[in-house]
Amino acid sequence: MEVTIDKNSGYCFGVEYAIQMAEDEMRDTERLYCLGDIVHNDMEVKRLSEKGLVVIDREQLKCLRDCKVLIRAHGEPPETYKTAIENNIELIDASCPVVLKLQHRVKTAFDKMEREQGQIVIYGKKGHAEVIGLTGQTLEKALVVMEDKDLEKIDFKRPVTLFSQTTKSTKGFYALKAKIEERIKEAKGTLTELDFNANDSICRQVSNREPQLAQFSQANDVIVFVAGRKSSNGKALFQVCKGINSRSYFVESEGEIEGEWFATEDKVGICGATSTPMWLMERVKDHILSKSMDSIVAG
């Protein structure tokens, strides 16, 4: 049996940077607070909690004083920074540079839309940490849209500026863009640059993984996709694998692997989400190889 880990899988730059900042900080302190799970992977969260990383929510943040709090890669709304100043909290800001740039673009566009009685629309998942940071740039006035039914929130007779959560599907973004354009034409009878401005703000390091994973899935007999069940990126990327290779399996850890998935002659590919640590994929590989050797010896 041949087992290969996808070289393009694992942490994106933003997540890797945030975890490195957390580990560097914890070398000098016994406890570091983190606003939300640093990554959507329970095993990595557990590993870091054993080193002293304590996960808190925004309500708990309001009760803290005179301490250090890490802001993860997803970024935060302005309210978080205000609370930190009021409570003498030192922020270790690990916001992804791509997300910070997008926050600035959204804020600038929002100020323009306010002058023109327009609307900011964000293609993303309502309640997602990054989306909370983006809507915070608009005084919570941005409209979050992901499904067709969400389009009813938009007034198509007023100007619309569209952005995307950085980790969403490129295909989904352009499908939404086309639907908004059509609805504006129906409402106004025309479509100009003043009516609609669409900004493809998807991170290419993330979106490029879809075609890469499609090729990887085709090149292997069996795919073992490793990700946390809370990872929306993981769910989306697994569907890419499953669509290409029906023998694709989603696991959180090596303990969920079933021996019946494999045959001795199979080429097995291991891959994961932008929130999947490489050490976990390596552990899954070692587990599959050891089980393979056990079955050969038993046979």
Residues marked active site are found at 130
Say how many Å lie between the first and final Cα of the chain, rounded: 15
CB neighbourhood size of 7 (10 A): 10
Question: Is 185 strand, coil or helix?
Answer: helix
d(C-alpha 190, C-alpha 182), whole Å:
9
Question: Is 108 strand, coil or helix?
Answer: helix
d(C-alpha 258, C-alpha 249), whole Å:
10
CB neighbourhood size of 219 (10 A): 14
Residue 116: burial class (beta carbons within 10 Å; 0-12, 13-18, 19+): exposed
Picking from 108, 17, 123, the residue whose alpha carbon sits closest to that of residue 71 is: 17
Q: Provide the token pair at 41.
A: 């992977």
Question: To which residue do tokens 């942490």 refer?
Answer: 11
Question: Is 202 strand, coil or helix?
Answer: coil
Residue 7's H or E segment, with its range, is none
Q: Give helix 13-26 / helix 97-115 axis angle, nearest 10°.
A: 120
CB neighbourhood size of 173 (10 A): 22
Neighbouring residues of 177: CB distance < 8 A, sequence distance ≥ 6? 162, 198
